[in-house]
C-alpha cells in the first residue's frame, strides 16, 4: 500500500471533520481558545489509529469519524491543561504559543473543559452503530481518559515528581499517561466495527505494546533526536530529572527493549492479514520516528 498517501488522506478526513464541528459556535469566546489548540495541526495519530483498528476488523475507518475526532478532542484538552503554569508551565507547543499564553490561564482552563465536554457530545453524535455498542465504546473511552487511565497517569506524574521510581512505576505512569488513549483508540475502533472477542483481545494486547514501544522511542529520541522529531527541546525530560526508559535501563538496553516490543506488537496483528496493513505501518511510523 502507498502508506504516505493513505495517512495523508486519513489526516485530511480528521482535519475536515474537526474543522466543521468546531465551527458550530457556543455562547462565549471559549470557542476561539478551543479552536486555537484543536486546529494546531499534529499527527492526529489517535483518531487515525481508531480508524485503522476498524479497518483491521474489515470495516471502513471513515465510518467512525465522530468517535475518532472526539478522542482527538480529549487528547487536545489534556495538552492544554498539561501546559498550564501550575502543571508543566510550557510557553510553546509545536512551535506556537501555548493556549494560556494567548488566551490567559482562566480561558485555557475553560478551553480544556470545553473540549473534554464537547468530546463526549461529538462521540455520541456517531450514527450507524448499534446504540448499545456506542454506549459501551464511549463509556470505555471515558474510563481510559479518567483517573483509571490518562488523568491517573498525570496524577502519578505529580506524585513521582523528583522521586526515584522503579521500572514498574514508570510503566504504570506511561500506561496511564499515554497508553490509555492508544488503548481507547484501538479498542474503540475495533468495538465499533464489530470485532469479536478474539480480535478484541489481540488488538488490546497490540495497543498495550504499541504504547510501550512509543514511549521507549520517545525516551530514546529525547537523547538522540532532533527537536523537529520530538516537538520539544532535546533532552528536556532528562533536564527535568524525569525518570525515562533510558535513565532506568541505559541507551543500549532501551533500544533493544523497543525493538523487542515492536516485534511483539506486530505479532498480535498476524490474524488480521492484509486488513492490518495500516496498523502495521502506523506502528513503524510511531516507533521509528527518525526515518
Site residues (CB under 8 A) for a copy of itself? 26-31, 34, 77-78, 81, 84, 86-87, 104-107, 109-110, 112-114, 116-118, 120-121, 124-125, 131-132, 134-136, 138-139, 142-143, 145-149, 151-156, 158-159, 172, 176
For a copy of itself, which is the closer residue by CB, 42 or 176?
176
Query: Could you tell me the smallest distance in angstroms from the CB atom of residue 92 to a copy of itself?
Result: 19
Cell output for 242: 524525569
Comparing CA positions, the residue from 64, 103, 45, 63 lying closest to residue 231 is 45
Question: Using an 8 Å Cβ cutoff, are 48 and 7 in contact?
Answer: yes
**Minimum gap (Å) between residue 154 Cβ and a copy of itself:** 6
Q: At its nearest, how many Å lie between a copy of itself and the CB of residue 16?
A: 21
Nearer to a copy of itself, 145 or 246 (CB): 145
Smaller CB distance to a copy of itself: residue 132 or 291?
A: 132
| Nearer of residues 149 and 225 to a copy of itself, judged by Cβ | 149
Q: Which is nearer to a copy of itself, 133 or 251 (CB)?
A: 133
168 CB-near residues (< 8 Å, 6+ apart): none
| Cα distance between residue 47 and residue 76, in whole Å | 12
CB of 48 vs a copy of itself, minimal distance in Å? 23
- CB 231 to a copy of itself: min, Å: 22
The candidate with the shortest Cα–Cα distance to 223, out of 231, 214, 233, is: 233
Residue 245 Ramachandran class (φ > 0 left, ψ -120 to 50 alpha, else beta): alpha
Output 78 or 247, the one with its CB closest to a copy of itself: 78
Choose between 15 and 125: whose C-beta lies nearer to a copy of itself: 125
- For residues 194 and 235, which CB has a smaller minimum distance to a copy of itself in the complex? 194
CB of 155 to a copy of itself, least distance (A): 3
Cβ 150 to a copy of itself shortest distance, Å = 8
Tell me the closest approach of the beta carbon of residue 159 to a copy of itself, in angstroms. 6
Amino acid at each position: 500500500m502507498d502508506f504516505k498517501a493513505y495517512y495523508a488522506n486519513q489526516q485530511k478526513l480528521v482535519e475536515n471533520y474537526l474543522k466543521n464541528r468546531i465551527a458550530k459556535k457556543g455562547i462565549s469566546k471559549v470557542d476561539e481558545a478551543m479552536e486555537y489548540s484543536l486546529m494546531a495541526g499534529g499527527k492526529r495519530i489517535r483518531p487515525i489509529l481508531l480508524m485503522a483498528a476498524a479497518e483491521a476488523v474489515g470495516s471502513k475507518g471513515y465510518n467512525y469519524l465522530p468517535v475518532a475526532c472526539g478522542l482527538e478532542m480529549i487528547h487536545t484538552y489534556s495538552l492544554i491543561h498539561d501546559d498550564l503554569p501550575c502543571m508543566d508551565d510550557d510557553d510553546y507547543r509545536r512551535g506556537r504559543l501555548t493556549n494560556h499564553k494567548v488566551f490567559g490561564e482562566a480561558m485555557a482552563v475553560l478551553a480544556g473543559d470545553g473540549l473534554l465536554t464537547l468530546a463526549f457530545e461529538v462521540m455520541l453524535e456517531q450514527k450507524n452503530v448499534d446504540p448499545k455498542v456506542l454506549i459501551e465504546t464511549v463509556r470505555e473511552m471515558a474510563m481510559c481518559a479518567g483517573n483509571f487511565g490518562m488523568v491517573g497517569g498525570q496524577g502519578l506524574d505529580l506524585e513521582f515528581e523528583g522521586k526515584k521510581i522503579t521500572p514498574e512505576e514508570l510503566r504504570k505512569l506511561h500506561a496511564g499517561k499515554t497508553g490509555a488513549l492508544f488503548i481507547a483508540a484501538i479498542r474503540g475502533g475495533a468495538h465499533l466495527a464489530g470485532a469479536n472477542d478474539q480480535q478484541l483481545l489481540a488488538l488490546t494486547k497490540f495497543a498495550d505494546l504499541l504504547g510501550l514501544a512509543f514511549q521507549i522511542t520517545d525516551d530514546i529520541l529525547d537523547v538522540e533526536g532532533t527537536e523537529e522529531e520530538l516537538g520539544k527541546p532535546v533532552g528536556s525530560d532528562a533536564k527535568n530529572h524525569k525518570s525515562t526508559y533510558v535513565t532506568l535501563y541505559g541507551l543500549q538496553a532501551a533500544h533493544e527493549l523497543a525493538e523487542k516490543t515492536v516485534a511483539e506488537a506486530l505479532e498480535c496483528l498476524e490474524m488480521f492479514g492484509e486488513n492490518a496493513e495500516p496498523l502495521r505501518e502506523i506502528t513503524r511510523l510511531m516507533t521509528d520516528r527518525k526515518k
